[in-house]
Chains A and B, each alone.
Chain A
């Protein structure tokens, strides 16, 4: 097991040369397929099945990349939304890297799909507000979004861990903070990877875990919801 060195202040350093040097020393492992994570086959055609209404997305106040307080409902209503929880320090190959890659692949396909381009929204909410600050989110947002506004990818965080906790509990996002030998947090957040697909009315209609989170399954279900909600729009409505 290789442990990552934390920056002394526990925060990200954004000096590109330093980052590049560190990258050369310790390249990030590419995302790996999960144990059961072979691309799902035998999926029914989009629109030929109905996704169950599993649970409602609770409301919660978070921070956007401009550090402005926002209601999560602003990001989970009106569109077909794929929402995942992440943290920037995550290096569990079956965790956040899988979600990143699936979101990137799904977004790339959605941008070229007339059914999804203006209806699908992607949202990442940080589990680690102390380190995933709005300034970090700004960088991520600029990296992950094109200029056309299609299938926008939003990044949200909390003012504090305590602010995010009720949302995690209500969504059923399991989280545990790893403790090192000295009894202090190591910085790793053990969490079960989950991605939630949400309809424009705010109902969670599918939950993906590592066992079957693939771009194909996510897109298939997103297309099913987009057909059921032709008026869905991924444009954020200003409060």
Chain B
């Protein structure tokens, strides 16, 4: 059914309201956000494509480093600021529970952050004063109330937070589910990952295309594996079989699987092309070192297919985080083992081509770029027991400028020297508006 919006009623209302509804456009912002990455939920209202002011890093406490506690670290990234590139705030949450990923609520005022070991979820107020986040709530009963553990991805829906877990309470394997909370932190629903029709029941990331009513999820591994020492895991052939090899296309409204794709080798982060009219998403498979394209073909069928190698797969470079440009023309891909950031040209998403590479450090995991693509930030930690050992266990946040040709280092925060820990997920905020609800 197609409905045509009436405009006649606008005139009627104008006559009723007089000056109330007259005038041209007021281009005011519909949210307090002033800076966005390219990987946030599309349900976050009113993306603003400006300069980020603060970078928040969800940081794993590390034995022998500072207070040894997981913490939210805030760095000033305002150009010209006296404290540019410096830590301006830290908020320790107590203990070490494998701090991992974060996500904003739809109004961007709160940042949810999860721990993969003890499954605690911390909700930080970043709206009141983004330079000084405050912990306002801790959810510590995820396993008891849902049966799932390892809250990984936090993805905003209107008034809700959709959480992808990695594992389950019963056997700590990879079969898991999705959890929906409302923004107050009350449990709304649980949704198991599909185990029939080729589904392995595993989960990792979430990415939604609202216009299509479609959601994609990917798959990783369970608690037993992600908490195991990496070298021990690699030698355990039975454990190495317990990695996800699927992606799921969902009917978002019904929260039911539509199609299950075979994507071997633990497909991790998923990014939809944000370009208007584009109808595809991309992911990287960690263990098989490939970029996979998920696309609706001309016949109306969704398919997932490998479209590029990331480095030399035989050396297991381990592609981890990816970051797509706002116009879907390029993709940053980090490979953990060689500490390298690679840029792929996505002009033809069916055949991405690596066009640039730069070694960031001995190890590198997360990458976040500004909306305009001119600033790119990297952090080092993958998982506490998977990070490299000894001198290679570099822990940092590095900020770069990108002019389309070269990454130029702008600042480095050494998370060991600063007594912070292992630097993992990053999120941007900006100064809040002064006038809020009375």
Contacts and interface: CB of A to CB of B under 8 A. Distances in A.
Contact of A88 (B17, B27, B254): B17
B158 A208 contact: yes
B264 interface: no
B12 A143 contact: yes
Interface stretch (A18-26, A59-67, A71-79, A227-235): A18-26
Interface in B8-45: 9-32, 42-43, 45
A174 to B, nearest CB: 4
Contacts of A217: 253
Interface in B378-425: none
Contacts of B106: 192, 209
Chain B's interface size range is: 35 or more
B107 A89 contact: no
B435 A178 contact: yes
A175 B19 CA distance: 23
B47 interface: yes
A177 B5 CA distance: 29
Interface of B is mostly: loop
Contacts of B11: 23, 28
A149 interface: no
B251 interface: yes
Contacts of B433: 176, 178-179, 190
B25 A93 contact: yes
Contact of B3 (A14, A35, A216): A216
Contacts of B82: none
A37 to B, nearest CB: 7
Contacts of A176: 32, 433, 435-437
B355 interface: no
Contacts of A182: none
A197 B12 CA distance: 26
Q: Quick one: which of B3, B7, B22 has the most chain A CB within 10 A? A: B22
A97 B17 CA distance: 14
A4 B29 CA distance: 16
Contacts of B211: 36-41, 211-212
A12 to B, nearest CB: 4
Interface stretch (B183-191, B281-289, B360-368): B183-191
B279 to A, nearest CB: 11
B48 to A, nearest CB: 11
B200 to A, nearest CB: 24
B350 to A, nearest CB: 23
Nearest to B254: A49
Contacts of A178: 28, 433, 435
Nearest to A136: B17
A214 to B, nearest CB: 8
B54 to A, nearest CB: 18
A174 B106 CA distance: 10
A20 B42 CA distance: 38
A191 B30 contact: yes
A194 interface: yes
B256 interface: yes
A168 B188 contact: no
Given A19-B14, A49-B256, A100-B9, A177 B435 contact: yes
Q: Quick one: which of A13, A35, A42 has the most chain B CB within 10 A? A: A42
Contacts of A101: 5-6
A20 B27 contact: no
A25 B348 CA distance: 47
B146 interface: no
Interface of A: 1-7, 12-16, 18-20, 22-23, 26, 28-31, 35-44, 48-49, 52-55, 88-95, 97, 100-102, 104-106, 108-109, 131, 136, 139-140, 143-144, 161-162, 165, 168-169, 172, 174-179, 185, 188, 190-194, 204, 207-212, 215-217, 219-221
26 contacts: A1-B26, A1-B27, A2-B25, A14-B17, A19-B17, A19-B22, A35-B47, A35-B276, A36-B210, A48-B254, A49-B255, A52-B189, A89-B21, A90-B21, A101-B6, A104-B6, A104-B9, A139-B16, A139-B17, A143-B16, A190-B32, A193-B45, A211-B45, A212-B213, A220-B253, A221-B253
Interface of B: 1-7, 9-32, 42-43, 45-47, 106-107, 109, 157-160, 180, 182-184, 186, 188-189, 210-214, 251, 253-256, 276, 433-438
Identify the 9 closest CB pairs spanning chains A and B, nearest first: A4-B23, A49-B254, A2-B24, A207-B158, A139-B16, A192-B45, A174-B107, A13-B18, A207-B159
